[in-house]
Amino acid sequence: MMAVNTLEELLKMLIENILALLPQIAKTLLILVIGWIIGKCIYIAVKKFIEKIGVDSTFKDSILGRALARFGMTISSFVASSIKWFIYTLALMSAIDIWGIPVLSHFTQIAVEYLPNFIGGILILVAGMIISEILVQIIDESLSTIKVPYIKLASLFSRILLYAIVVVTALLVMKIDVSILYALLNALFWGIALGIGVAIGIAFGLGLKDEVARSARRWFQLAGATEEKVAEKEYEKKIKEYKKKIENLEKELAKEKETVKELKEKKEEKIKEYERMEMDLNGKLKSLIKDSGKILCAHGGYSIEVSEPGVFPWIEVLVTLVANGYKVSLEKRDQKYIIEATLKRK
């Protein structure tokens, strides 16, 4: 009877423990399912977006594109898979953390803290290589346009340099020690520089100095041509500025000529107006002279005393008198100017 009771108690305890664990099991499964769904949806969205902007087709022949193609992947699927597995890992770590096991919780905390650095490093690696390919293409096109020799060598060196910078940056983000890589890259670049120097020395020593000299001349000619083009552009720019200034001056001169022409026409019209015969000559003279002079009595004509020579309408008065048949003379009496006007004899 004691054994039966003990077995029943064990079964009862087992069932109670299983029932107690059911909520945690349900939470764990729910977190895993939600993480799987979110990761899958984000994978599809990211992959379609990268494919739509044409990254796969543009960079399929790059080093990164060819390397991923060996594993049956594209750049879009690689980036989308990295983000998907990042979400899967977060979901798994969250599910493990529910059980409250100290060792697993500590491991989960370390993994969760490191995951952003790992994913960030991968994204920097992918984006950096894409940008490097774009920059290398720009360098190739620029050097081809100006016909620089040894374009392939320059492109290869540029690609190696840019890739090295991207890889070192990605590893630093991943918190990986790159001191050894620094030493290797330093030795590599020093080796390349030393090799170029030795090659130049051998070229001069083995009779290739003429070719090197021709290449140097081409480089100097290219530099001179570039400087001439810059000077030519500056000269053309100044010529355009001068032409614009000349056009503005011509416009201003045309306006001035038009103004002078208008003033001349007005003056001629005014003189013609004064040349017309006046019925009331006395009234006309008074309206012209006003306070600048005084009309005196004179036998058979006019005697006009000028009191303000500076404002006196000399031309208007003289033209009016001559146009109406008067002979005009000018005298100075007692520091005053006198205009004598007498009718002409027929």
Q: Can you give the pLDDT at residue 41? A: 92
The pLDDT tens digits of the residues spanning 130-162 come to: 887 788 778 777 777 766 666 677 777 777 778
Reduce the DSSP state of residue 136 to 3 states and report it: helix
Same domain for 154 and 31: yes
Q: Is residue 305 part of a domain?
A: yes
Q: Are residues 52 and 167 in the same domain?
A: yes
Given 121, 143, 176, which residue is the final one in a domain?
176
Q: How far is CA 9 from the centre of its chain?
A: 81
Which residue segment(s) compose the domain that 337 sits in? 281-343
**CA distances (Å), 303 to each of 21, 339, 341, 345, in order?**
136, 6, 6, 18
d(CA 161, CA 345): 111
Task: In whole angstroms, give the CA distance from residue 188 to residue 185.
Answer: 5
Number of neighbouring beta carbons within 10 Å of residue 289: 21
Max Cα distance, the chain (Å): 175
Q: Which residues of the chain have pLDDT under 70?
A: 1-5, 7, 17-18, 20-21, 100-105, 107-108, 111-112, 146-151, 178, 181-182, 185, 188-189, 191-228, 230, 270-279, 297-300, 345-346
Q: Flag whether 169 is in a domain.
A: yes
- Measure the CA–CA gap between 208 and 235, rounded to whole angstroms: 40
- Whether residue 185 is contained in a domain is answered as no
**Residue 139 domain-assigned?**
yes
* CA distance readout (Å), 304 to 294, 301, 321, 331: 6, 10, 11, 10
Structural domains of the chain, count: 2
Domain end, chosen from 176, 196, 225, is at 176
pLDDT for residue 105: 66
Say whether both 169 and 33 belong to one domain.
Answer: yes
- Which of 129, 152, 176 delimits the end of a domain? 176
- pLDDT at site 2: 46
Task: Supply the pLDDT for residue 147.
Answer: 65
pTM greater than 0.75 (yes/no) = no
- Give CA–CA dist 334/346, Å, rounded: 33
Q: Same structural domain for residues 170 and 295?
A: no
Residue 101 lies in a domain: yes
